[in-house]
Amino acid sequence: MTTKTVKVPSISCGHCVATIEREVGGLDGVASVKADRATRDVTIAWDPKATDWTAIDSLMREINYAPAD
């Protein structure tokens, strides 16, 4: 299992948190997603045999919650 925490500056409300957790959590291989509105941190755990960071990052950008570079 690989885990990564990123800052997502566009998180501003509970809807943002729910959207990120639902959409990213729906990717094959993603084991858990925890978004925090107060810190704007998103922690994602995934199976590197099933998906990779590029796919996760692409989806986050597609749903308008791009991780800070």
User: Which CATH number do you get for residue 56?
Assistant: 3.30.70.100
Range of the domain at 38: 2-62
- Residue 67 placed within a domain: no
| AA letter at 58 | S
How many Å apart are CA 52 and CA 37, to the nearest integer?
24
pLDDT at 47: 97
Which among 36, 38, 41 has a CA at the least distance from the CA of 68?
41
How many Å apart are CA 44 and CA 67, to the nearest integer?
12
pLDDT at 69: 73
Number of structural domains (the chain) is: 1
pLDDT digits (tens, 9 = 90+) for 8-48: 999 999 999 999 999 999 999 999 999 999 999 999 999 99
Structure tokens belonging to residue 59 = 């989806």
- Give the pLDDT band (50/70/90) at residue 54: very high
Helix (H, G, I), strand (E, B) or coil at 16: helix
pLDDT at 12: 95
